Chain A
Amino acid sequence: MSNGDYFDRLDSELAGLIRRAEHLEGPGARVRRCAWLARRATLAVIVGLALAVTLISEFPSSADGAGPRNPISAIGA
């Protein structure tokens, strides 16, 4: 293999990364972890909001606290 061709450069680059243990904990690992956490948090907020909207639209009177606290009193029992 001649010196300095694409495949030699790739070999050197990979060897350097292995020597610096980048394959075990790459420089992007922390960024990826943060991005993953951010995605999970965003998803959790969206699901929470969707659930809240569903509950409010299904039970509008309970949203402002005007609904009966005791369902038995609501039917006059």
Chain B
Amino acid sequence: MARSTDRSRWSDEQLLAAIAGCDDRASSAFYRRHLRPVLAWLMRRTGDPELAADLTAEVFAAAMIAAPRYEPRHPSAEAWLTGIARNVLGHSVRRGRVDARARRQLGVGTLPIDDNDIERVHEMIDAHRTDVAGHLSRLPADERAAVRARIIDERDYRDIARSLGCSELVIRKRVSRGLARLRAELAG
């Protein structure tokens, strides 16, 4: 079957393989698909829109370099990107300055951030929250509570199990099912 030329319909795996093959439109599609979640993830941890935007640039630069080595162990590259974001953030915290190794390697110049860009960060974070809330609201109540507690509030399984009055295994299953449902909805 012929592959669609609309890269926004491609899977992450297809996009990353195309990026490895120097397809710039695949790079844009991948970036646009994952920009909001990555930015929101970094914003939650830093609380600083300028810093989050700067780190986002580094995360995507690192992802482009790592794309040829991507192994599709997950149905989505979100976990892979989150791992990269965690490394970039951790390295920045340890060094006391924003990690820029990937951008240096690629020769990406420093992009200035002005007040409009900061406003844009807030807009994207709000849009991301609305998206997430919309998708979450369509989950069954038990899965919604488990996914919200685990993914948004980042509580550990034991704590969630205690507060919801069931076993850790049940919570893990609910989170897993809920995420699978969200993934299917986002892909469809």
A contacts, CB < 8 Å to B: 1-2, 5-7, 9-11, 13-24, 26-29, 32
Contact = CB atoms under 8 A, between A and B. Distances in A.
Interface of B: 19-20, 22-28, 31-32, 35, 53, 56-57, 60-61, 64-65, 67-68, 104-109, 111-114, 116-117, 120, 124
Nearest to A20: B22
Contact of B107 (A10, A21, A27): A27
Closest 6 CB pairs of A and B: A6-B117, A15-B24, A19-B24, A18-B27, A23-B64, A26-B105
14 contacts: A2-B120, A6-B112, A6-B113, A7-B124, A10-B60, A14-B64, A15-B25, A16-B24, A17-B108, A18-B27, A23-B67, A23-B106, A26-B105, A26-B106
Contacts of A24: 20, 22, 68
A28 B105 contact: yes
Given A22-B106, A23-B106, 18 more contacts: A2-B120, A6-B111, A7-B35, A7-B53, A7-B56, A7-B120, A11-B32, A17-B106, A20-B22, A22-B107, A23-B65, A24-B20, A26-B106, A26-B107, A27-B106, A27-B107, A28-B104, A28-B105
B27 A5 contact: no
Contacts of A14: 27-28, 31, 60-61, 64, 108
B19 to A, nearest CB: 6
A20 B22 CA distance: 7
B115 to A, nearest CB: 11
Contact of A6 (B27, B28, B120): B120
A15 B27 contact: yes
Majority SS at the chain A contact face: helix
Given A5-B116, A5-B117, A17-B64, A10 B24 contact: no
A23 to B, nearest CB: 4
A18 B124 CA distance: 25
Contact of A10 (B57, B68, B104, B124): B57
B43 to A, nearest CB: 13
Contacts of A10: 31, 56-57, 60, 111
